Structure 1
Amino acid sequence: MVDLAPLVGTDRREGVVITVTERDGTGHAVYEFVDGMKDFSEPLEIDLVPVSATVFAGTGGGAAFSED
């Protein structure tokens, strides 16, 4: 099991806000386009699957991520 606590939080970059949370021991991210990019897409809800202690694969992002 991966300790997600150090990774939980919000990161704001130009045009996007990425929020990482933990739900029942599973990582989850919301990738939101903001400012001038806000009309590119609805927020993407992504389940994070650990590959290693610091690397995750994302699923559930829809067509933007070719489904799974």
Structure 2
Amino acid sequence: MSEEQKGIREGIEESEGDPRLILLMNGLLSGVFALTVVWGLDRIGIAGFTAPNVATLALIIFAATYLVVLR
């Protein structure tokens, strides 16, 4: 073996990842964060804890994260 093996750091730095997995993780984490925020807003009486409120905030967070991180 004349060629040196790459270490973990080099492998991670060269890896681009699967975009579908990144989008899935973004969607799941955005949904959990939106659920938590809307629940908190409901507890202090600012917004109702409803599915449309959670979905709207999750979409906003997802889009913002996508634009900032992936593009």
Q: So what's the TM-score if we normalise by structure 2?
A: 0.29
Structure with greater strand share of residues: 1
Q: Which structure's CA Rg is the greater one? A: 2
Greater relative CO (CA pairs within 8 A, separation 6+): 2
